[in-house]
Amino acid sequence: MSRKIEGTGDSAEWMLYDDFTSTPVVHLVGCYICEDDEFARMGLPLCRKCRKCQEAGRGDGHIAADDTVCDVCGWDEIEDYERWEVERGQLRRLQLTLDEREETE
């Protein structure tokens, strides 16, 4: 539940002063999330590294906390997530099939 700090109209301001913070792992000049330390001070999700940039030796890359596309290489991490979801569904169906076979034997 949010609570207001006396004298302000901002119900989230308390997040600036509690002990929970986030630690930045990448920084892109001009990114509004990277440039504003209040995101980290509030413990909010921060920008993250790009796996594809790291694999290609292009450094850490930069995927904004509110996005899925790398600003450096253009890779969209949602593609891997969707592929993972499909594979997970296939494995689940296979497991159910195997379970059904064991029950009938």
Q: What was the pLDDT predicted at 1?
A: 41
Which of left, alpha, beta for 43 (phi over 0: left; psi -120 to 50: alpha)? Answer: left
Residue 99 has pLDDT above 80, yes or no: no
| pLDDT tens track for 3-53 | 444 555 677 787 777 777 888 889 999 998 888 888 888 888 889 999 999
Query: Is the pTM here over 0.75, yes or no?
Result: no
Question: For a pLDDT cut of 90, what percent of the chain falls above it?
Answer: 33
Residue 77 has pLDDT above 50, yes or no: yes
